[in-house]
Amino acid sequence: MTDTGSTLPRRQLGSYLHEARTALNLSQEKLADLADLSSSVLQRLEKGEATRLKVRDLQAVCDVLEMSDDMTTAMIGLLRQGAEKSWWHEYGNLIPATFDVYVGLETAARKLNTYQPSLIPGLLQTADYARALMQTGYPAEDSAEHERRIELRTKRQTIVTRKRQPIALDVVLHESTLRSTVGSADVMAAQLRHLAEIGKQSNVTVRVLPFSAGAPTGDAVGQFAVLEFDKDGKGQPVWPPVVYLETFVGCIYLEKILDVQLYDRVYESLQQCSLDVTASRSLLRQVAKELLET
């Protein structure tokens, strides 16, 4: 680690500011000058390092970067959460509910291991499967808003399919995920066939944890993801790995070494009790066929 004091909120704040500055083709020195801020402070800020930056100073930076009110509010929320090593992000508290911190983290990751006990992960959802979920989850929204959400999700999926440095994605799905029909039999069958096909990519691994595996860890395990990031020239992670847990009211981000190691062990247990890749692909196709025959 280049900065052991760095935390996820600080790093995310720095990443968003760097991205916005680059989009406007501004140098750090120019941005610092326009925001009446020390260039050294801005440099530390973009690196995710601790600073004594005041909210009004960050507001000035966001103004220069032409950020929207919601985006600015999110940046201020990240600044205020900057000291948190493991972080509970309650939707709509400090950071607007419409601002998805996880997406930025997912985009920066180089490896993602995820266990899903009930739904196909967003990175592997077909448009029809995603649409069915959104129609149920956001009944007050119109079809145009649903399509906007699907478009955003589709763009996220390019980190899996791009030719240059695609993310290494390892997925364990509980068999109940395959047998819970979302949308319709046709929609679900197409989704399962998609999983079988995309699992052939060298950077994607899809395994199924069958009903017969019982409870591999002896405890109930909800959905989780473990994200890992690039390494520097010395082979050390640029960012520490992060465990992501999602609930209805917010998300938990865990960075403590012991917490990450625990979830690594849990994931390994789930993998060991899952079908291998070939058997998993066969089961996906079998269930898809059964759906179309009923």
pLDDT tens across 37-59, in order?
Answer: 888 888 888 888 888 888 898 99
d(CA 246, CA 260): 16
Secondary structure element (H or E) that encloses residue 62, with its range: helix 55-64
Pick the more confident residue, 117 or 71: 117
d(CA 10, CA 1): 15
Say if residues 281 and 292 touch (Cβ distance below 8 Å).
Answer: no
d(CA 29, CA 38): 8
pLDDT at 119 exceeding the cut of 70:
yes
Please state, in angstroms and as integers, the Cα–Cα distance from residue 4 to each residue in 10, 48, 69, 185, 225, following that order: 12, 10, 31, 50, 22
d(CA 121, CA 204): 13
| Sign of the alpha-carbon dihedral angle for 274, 240, 52, 100 | negative
Residue 129's SS3 state is helix
Secondary structure element (H or E) that encloses residue 121, with its range: none
Say if residues 270 and 216 touch (Cβ distance below 8 Å).
Answer: yes
Q: What pLDDT does residue 242 have? A: 92
Phi, psi of 237, deg, nearest 5: -60, 135
- Superfamily of domain 8-85 in CATH is lambda repressor-like DNA-binding domains (1.10.260.40)
d(CA 227, CA 243): 6
- Other Cβ atoms within 10 Å of 176 Cβ, number: 14
Mean pLDDT of 24-36: 89
d(CA 74, CA 95): 5
Residue 76's SS3 state is helix
pLDDT band, very low/low/confident/very high, at 240 (cuts 50, 70, 90): confident
Least confidently predicted of 119-123, 169-173, 220-224, 238-242: 238-242
Q: What pLDDT does residue 148 have? A: 86
Q: Where are the domains of the chain?
A: 8-85, 101-293
Residue % of the chain over a pLDDT of 70 = 92
What is the architecture of the domain spanning 101-293? 2-Layer Sandwich (3.30)
| Sign of the alpha-carbon dihedral angle for 282, 283, 285, 289 | positive
d(CA 233, CA 237): 10
pLDDT at 29 exceeding the cut of 60:
yes
- The number of CA neighbours under 13 Å toward the Cβ of 176 is 10
d(CA 260, CA 23): 34
Mean pLDDT of 96-107: 74
Q: What mean pLDDT, rounded, does the chain reach? A: 88
In tens, the pLDDT along 134-173 reads 889 888 888 888 888 888 888 889 999 999 899 999 999 9
Residue % of the chain over a pLDDT of 90 = 48
Taking the model in full, what pTM does it have? 0.77
Q: What pLDDT does residue 121 have? A: 93
d(CA 162, CA 177): 26
Q: What pLDDT does residue 4 have? A: 44
Which position has the token pair 């935390």? 7
Q: What pLDDT does residue 133 have? A: 92
Q: What pLDDT does residue 150 have? A: 87
pLDDT at 104 exceeding the cut of 50:
yes
Please state, in angstroms and as integers, the Cα–Cα distance from residue 175 to each residue in 106, 112, 187, 214, 256, following that order: 25, 20, 17, 11, 31
Residue 256's SS3 state is coil
In tens, the pLDDT along 247-281 reads 877 788 898 899 999 999 999 999 999 999 999 99
* Whole-angstrom Cα Rg for the chain: 21
pLDDT band, very low/low/confident/very high, at 1 (cuts 50, 70, 90): very low
Q: What pLDDT does residue 107 have? A: 83
Mean pLDDT of 187-209: 96
Q: What pLDDT does residue 46 have? A: 87
Q: Do domains 8-85 and 101-293 have the same CATH topology?
A: no
